[in-house]
Amino acid sequence: MCSIPPPPPPLPALADISPLPKEPSSNRVMDELGDACAWASEHRELREACIKSKIFQDKPPHTYKYRYFESISQIGPTCGLVALSMLVNGAVNPNELLTIAKFKGYTNNGEMFSCKQMVKLAEDVFSLVDNMENVRCELQSGNLSSPETIKRLINGAVLLVPYDADANHSPCLRNGHTAHWALVCGVIVTGDPVDEYDLGKVNVQVLCKHGKSKYLAVWNLYTLALSNKNLYEFSPKKCADGLVYILPEDGIGGKDGLRDQFLIFEGF
């Protein structure tokens, strides 16, 4: 079932917000990893992700940018809330976000099926967290694998991207039936782009976190963009599970939904 959200009530008060945690020590020298991906020794998660993906084990990539965010596991259909909580490193936890989102009329169970509402929720969250006053949130339609987005990632931008998740939670094409949210916290350009980036088809990978895994994932940007563009309809299985979900009037594939849209954050 689905419903249209009522006008939002005032934002609820939350407990004191704790400071953001720092990246765990990489111990610099990780004997168990040998010399593989030594160029990433300052970032343990990045190094382990590249070793697992079998990329750049002997030499560094042409260009990369990575920002650490603490992993948070989701409970229930709260992947978007968890991704947003990771963006502020848990300073506002998923349960607090669920309270806010319910008060605003964006969700019933933790689902977030509107990028526009996610932008509003992010702005509310930033107002609660110290040192986030300079972070800007922008809604983007299309252009996920464009040269402009890639350059902004290289310059330190972070993304929240809805996509279809496969069994291993990597991007796939299921018409929106397995819609999921990921935090894109880095980018790797595998070769000199010369004039323009190849729209992520081959030489651009993104570094991602989501609520179904504690590990950093490495995905092809173009594949993620294709998955983002195929979010046409709400899952028939979820529509029959007895829960009431809040969906945009024109569905997840409409202008107020998820399809071919993402959030970009700059100013960290």
The CA–CA distances, whole Å, from 123 to 88, 134, 149 equal: 12, 11, 21
Domain spans of the chain?
Answer: 29-60, 61-266
Q: Span 193-201, mean pLDDT?
A: 59
**Residue 196 pLDDT exceeds 80:** no
Pick the catalytic residue from 50, 79, 115, 185: 79
**pLDDT value of position 17:** 45
The phi, psi pair for 225, rounded to 5°, reads -65, -40
Q: How would residue 19 be classed by pLDDT, with cut points 50, 70 and 90?
A: very low
**Residue 96 C-alpha from the chain's centroid:** 18
pLDDT band at 266 (very low <50, low <70, confident <90, very high): very high
- What CATH topology corresponds to 61-266? Cathepsin B; Chain A (3.90.70)
User: What is d(CA 222, CA 199) in angstroms, rounded to the nearest whole number?
Assistant: 7
CA 126 to chain centre: 16
Distance CA(33)–CA(232), nearest Å, equals 42
Please state the pTM of the whole predicted model. 0.87
d(CA 209, CA 72): 9
- CA angle 207–69–218, rounded 5-degree value: 15
For 126-170, what is each residue's pLDDT tens digit? 999 988 889 999 999 998 999 899 999 999 999 999 999 999 999
Closest CA to 139 of 124, 153, 125, 118: 118
Active site residue 79: yes
8 Å CB contact between 205 and 220: yes
DSSP string, 61-99: -SEEEE---------SS-HHHHHHHHHTTTSS-HHHHHH
The residues, ordered by sequence, that sit 6+ positions from 17 with a Cβ below 8 Å of its Cβ are: 91, 92, 128, 129, 130
